[in-house]
Structure 1
């Protein structure tokens, strides 16, 4: 399939160094700088001549570093949970590694076993995966460094103390926040702001990107509210109100899709009202937003007016059940509550049903085993850094292995040079501590933009900490670069190039595209299902909930697929070339989904039902597209229905079929 217009134009090498746009998390930057620099700074201030005390300060800073990596912001309870779990895993890993220190056979066995645990944990959840990575990292650190503390459990205890110090700082920052539930408020407000931007972009080339921003904002808001969901939050009226407002955004998003499809600009007072709603959500003390006068000149505008009226009533404290636009109430919000049993069942299903999971874990374990063998066989000064590089780069659920290997190598080389300048040029003591604080504060900023940039910041932090603990050793700087390059080479040669799955990724990507086409077909069936004559309010609410849930699920899968393709673009040809060729088909499916949504809104407000036979013909056409993608051929000829209500859906499906025929 040839690359069509609309595919990304940047080269795979440019994708490797391209940074993502992201706001600067000043709170996390300041917390990380203070948490990492203060413990070692205090030990230097009071006992700079005592290596044991200095070592305690360094270990405490390392514990704070673990907690800082785990803290990605968000709801308070989720932040505390991530920090606590990650620190506990790191401490256990450090203890396990320390037990093997000095024994090559025991080191290999423990580190390889830790890599197996780390790889399997990636299936459970993102938080478990991050915690298990720190378990592996600190098992490697413990097996390669003797911190001189006895008994052996003392070093892990100090790491936990450092994490507790960082957690305490986080708690203070949360208590000082003037707006309770600020992350949740910001996430819900961002949805309304994104919808306003989509209305502003209507009729311009920027409208597709604006619609994707709405999807991203919705995904992030729902993920955040799910992570904040606890029994305590469920009884918090502020949380319940935010969930209600988030659910109320769904009919606004659907109505906006219909308005954009109608091809006419709405008056500026409408997007301005949405921004006022966002300000009111983010800051409860802000003035109540004034709703624009209702405009019911088109079905899309009528739906938007009703949806805005609903949100205005919610902000005024009225009961949403009396509104004409049905939404999910806070006691039935549809937010999944994932239990430990659910996670264990998911883990069992992944491990028992798919070779793909085991192949990913096997690649990680094999690379770690090779790295350990190289560490034992080669006369290297501190060879554990090789295995550290492999562990961080090869984590199978963290994105493109090739991109991470190259970014890690480049970032570490630059980071080591920065660390060398700090160690050699700045005198031991407070100048180095200040440099440590600046570099640590840059980590939360860098990780949101590019993994190589993150490596550029975290590497000198580790170099400075280890230099403070072990004294000046110019050879250490050179060995860090050498070990990193060896580790990256192991990843590429052992964990990337020889595996058939690497070169089959384009075909696997096609299968993912076909699955998403099937999802769009399922959404079409739900959204355009016939409405029974004279339905009651309950039936209308149920129908609206089903349509909204299906639409949200479909857009999320499209968004996930787009992210996967974006990651694959950083691979070398022919993989990146094949990935770019699927981009127009993803865009086409997004447009089909938009057309389905706008058609459903138009039919609802015009009291029209789509012809069941025509809907089935459209579903069959989408199924034919999915089948053609899986078979790597042009789709079979089909006749699309000639129906006024379904014309936009037919047109977009026809355009999607045409892409596969070229």
Structure 2
């Protein structure tokens, strides 16, 4: 069914070497999220500076806690999504802190425990319903944990408002670029698809073709998510040329991915002039997003992109035409010609969503989360007395199965805490002023912002160090380095024991469900009728590949959990790979019948 994969050496000529070097160095230069690091430093330092100048130190520290949580949820997704996430985070955290404060001011430990238990049940009940609900649920419980563990003087409403102000500051810093870079996120996501398509064509005929196709699928999945609000029918008759151009670029990217998949399935090496087609399209469709080079084509002497040649017949010397000798090349030529001005069918692409956990899963997670939080609170009362927050707070951060493998998250939390404690202990020795402490907060806030995008242990390192400084500014000058490490290890142990004793098959069940749904989507794509429209075929194909990618991630998460493997346990990766090969073959046959 699948043509054999042929290997070929990498050919590199003198004019191509500088381009390859730039493509190798570029990820190293762009992987560091400088803007996010600056936002993290400013968002955490600014409230503290305002507090020092005004004398409102306590409210400023609470605002910095809100900013800390906001930095932990900052991202590079569309601005509308960021605003929705920050609003949900801020409101949920403020409500949770209000409930925690009321319980703490009652003076009854049972009221604190009841507050944490009820809040954990509520948070767990809807945390698995989607990304925004997950963020809101986690911060509802975090707000209750901090509110019931840190006594804050002043009226009861002051601390929640300060917390909300801190989250709002991060929202403003993160969303303000929308004013002058309104469609930057969408352009970047689409450009990543065209670059991934070019890389995939470069891998055609090699052993890396399958992995290159998966990277293209991931890029297209992200672009589909980013472009979601623009792909629905427009509510207003007025047309925005930039939005229309982005929608066109997206629909062309979907068709391009189909052509690229067919060429990879055909399994033969392609010349540079063919692998450059996606980047030539990107230059035409997404002006301003390219970096001055097109992989596979020589640079001009003035350093500009060669662009699309102007020929009366609309063709490019060396590029395939519509009479090419393979379905993949004919499809690529058709997509390329469409980018050169042909009209496309802009029907909405209806892609089925991946299955979500059922009600029983939500209920079980809510009960287990509440049990872990109450166990951590009991341990905190026994070890440290009243007004302890670190143990239950750590449980809230660790027990998030929708964020990845629980065991790995617990391990990274412990490692990050140890490194953060050591780092803040080292840099605090020479610090003798409040401004020096604020400088430390800015540094570790930037470190946390980088870690959020690269590694959870690094993010935990920054968060741990910042919390130590904030607690010190609140007036708690105790030496808590050792106790915080032990508390983190204890909280992680509580989560792991409860989770794997009661629900050890959660990750494997999720992988089973995702794989079954992905295989069903692949079967529907295989059984498409000959008379199906292009839009319907693309919807079936996109659904199949997207759910296969989700299933592969779920299988990877399940493999990372330390549970005993049953010999009869299905090999998810093998089934997914077989289904991907099936979809590749169906794509090739579909395009072979006609574009």
TM-score exceeds 0.5? yes
Aligned to 2:364: 359
Residue 111 of structure 2 corresponds to residue 103 of structure 1:
no
Aligned to 1:138: 143
Aligned to 2:42: 34
Give the one of 338, 342, 361 matched to 1:310.
338
Give the one of 547, 550, 561 matched to 2:540.
550
Give the one of 522, 525, 535 matched to 1:523.
525
The structural deviation recorded for 1:580 is 9.8
The 1:305–1:576 alpha-carbon spacing in structure 2 relative to 1, beyond 3 Å, is: farther
SS in 1 for 2:137: helix
The structural deviation recorded for 1:590 is 1.4
Q: Is the 8 A contact 2:390 2:484 kept in 1?
A: yes
| Structure 1 residues 394-433: aligned runs within 5 Å | 394-433=399-438
Give the one of 323, 327, 335 matched to 1:299.
327
SS in 2 for 1:266: coil
**Within 2, Cα distance between the matches of 1:91 and 1:235?**
40
The 1:335–1:492 alpha-carbon spacing in structure 2 relative to 1, beyond 3 Å, is: closer
- What is the total number of aligned residue pairs between the two structures? 539
SS in 2 for 1:502: coil
**Within 2, Cα distance between the matches of 1:151 and 1:199?**
63
Aligned to 1:187: 189
Q: Is the 8 A contact 1:63 1:87 kept in 2?
A: yes
Q: Is the 8 A contact 2:191 2:289 kept in 1?
A: no
The structural deviation recorded for 1:35 is 1.0
SS in 2 for 1:498: helix
SS in 2 for 1:151: coil
The structural deviation recorded for 1:167 is 2.5
Residue 81 of structure 2 corresponds to residue 85 of structure 1:
no
Give the one of 118, 122, 126 matched to 2:123.
118
The structural deviation recorded for 1:545 is 1.2
Residue 465 of structure 2 corresponds to residue 460 of structure 1:
yes
The 1:66–1:54 alpha-carbon spacing in structure 2 relative to 1, beyond 3 Å, is: same
Residue 553 of structure 2 corresponds to residue 568 of structure 1:
no
Aligned to 1:213: 215
**Within 1, Cα distance between the matches of 2:289 and 2:113?**
59
Residue 280 of structure 2 corresponds to residue 276 of structure 1:
yes
The 1:190–1:232 alpha-carbon spacing in structure 2 relative to 1, beyond 3 Å, is: farther
The 1:82–1:508 alpha-carbon spacing in structure 2 relative to 1, beyond 3 Å, is: closer
Aligned to 2:346: 328
SS in 2 for 1:425: coil
Q: Bigger CA drift: 285-294 or 362-371? A: 285-294
Q: Say which structure is richer in helix.
A: 1
The structural deviation recorded for 1:205 is 1.2
Q: Residues 336-376 of structure 1: CA distance to partner in whole angstroms, max 9, x if unpaired?
A: 9x9xxxxxxx99x943xxx2332222211211122222233
Give the one of 233, 246, 257 matched to 1:253.
257
The 1:376–1:54 alpha-carbon spacing in structure 2 relative to 1, beyond 3 Å, is: same
SS in 2 for 1:205: coil
The 1:411–1:508 alpha-carbon spacing in structure 2 relative to 1, beyond 3 Å, is: same
Aligned to 2:594: 604
Aligned to 1:165: 169
The structural deviation recorded for 1:31 is 1.0
Q: Is the 8 A contact 2:231 2:247 kept in 1?
A: no
Structure 1: where are the runs of 5+ without partners? Answer: 1-19, 322-326, 339-345, 532-541, 606-662
The structural deviation recorded for 1:576 is 10
Residue 497 of structure 2 corresponds to residue 493 of structure 1:
yes
Aligned CA RMSD, in angstroms, stands at: 2.9
The structural deviation recorded for 1:467 is 1.3
Q: Is the 8 A contact 1:75 1:227 kept in 2?
A: no
The structural deviation recorded for 1:253 is 1.2
The structural deviation recorded for 1:504 is 7.2
The 1:229–1:547 alpha-carbon spacing in structure 2 relative to 1, beyond 3 Å, is: closer
Q: Bigger CA drift: 104-113 or 61-70? A: 61-70
The structural deviation recorded for 1:508 is 6.1
Q: Is the 8 A contact 2:349 2:535 kept in 1?
A: no
The structural deviation recorded for 1:600 is 1.3
Structure 2: where are the runs of 5+ without partners? Answer: 1-26, 291-304, 310-314
The 1:229–1:414 alpha-carbon spacing in structure 2 relative to 1, beyond 3 Å, is: farther
Q: Is the 8 A contact 2:70 2:86 kept in 1?
A: yes
The 1:428–1:498 alpha-carbon spacing in structure 2 relative to 1, beyond 3 Å, is: same
The 1:603–1:364 alpha-carbon spacing in structure 2 relative to 1, beyond 3 Å, is: same
The structural deviation recorded for 1:118 is 1.3
SS in 2 for 1:392: helix
The structural deviation recorded for 1:385 is 0.8
The structural deviation recorded for 1:66 is 2.6
Q: Residues 107-162 of structure 1: CA distance to partner in whole angstroms, max 9, x if unpaired?
A: 111111111121122233201210221111011000000121x2100111112222
Q: Residues 482-522 of structure 1: CA distance to partner in whole angstroms, max 9, x if unpaired?
A: 2111111111122x2212x4147547644543443232211
What is the TM-score of this pair, normalised by structure 2? 0.84
**Within 2, Cα distance between the matches of 1:335 and 1:581?**
26
Q: Is the 8 A contact 1:123 1:350 kept in 2?
A: no
What is the TM-score of this pair, normalised by structure 1? 0.76
Residue 69 of structure 2 corresponds to residue 66 of structure 1:
yes
**Within 1, Cα distance between the matches of 2:426 and 2:432?**
11
